[in-house]
Amino acid sequence: AYFSATGNTKGIAEQIAGLTGGDLYEIIPAEPYTDEDLDFGDSQSRTSLEIDDPDARPEISSEAISISEYAALYLGYPIWHGQAPRILSTFAESYDFDGLTIIPFCTSGGSGIGSSAETLAEQAGSGRWLDGERFSAGASRETVEDWIDSLVLDAAGQ
């Protein structure tokens, strides 16, 4: 599952799906983000206002996914102002992750994953959340594959 406003996270998610044989689920905002919305230098841009409001929960327009059939879920997102976009909070609070291993990953030009995965785990309230990984937009297939290979998962994805 991934959210990608500019295509960077989508590219990594597609690599992960290809390498693992997994399914892809795109978290699509009900109100698409425009270039103006994504102006991180503008304190009044939509992204800045959402990140500054810890209670913001942008609506998701993609159909709900049945996560109970999965053992593991790679969860991808960009880093905005050092955090996961608030639409990820909407996603995390919308599902019961009990019995599921969640493997966060993010894309960013310079910021690390920081505490974004921990925050999402707290919002979700269930599931086994692994430490996340940050990728640059152009991360190679080999880089992504090495990270996947480094994960300690049992046969059930746990």
In this predicted structure, the answer to whether residue 155 has a pLDDT above a threshold of 50 is no
* Contact of 79 with 67, CB cutoff 8 Å: no
Give the mean model confidence (pLDDT) for residues 57-69: 95
Alpha-carbon span 102 to 118, nearest angstrom: 11
CA neighbor of 139 nearest in space, from 19, 58, 48, 42:
19
Residue 137: its pLDDT value, please?
86
Query: What would the two tokens of residue 118 be?
Result: 């921990």
pLDDT confidence band for 51 (50 / 70 / 90): very high
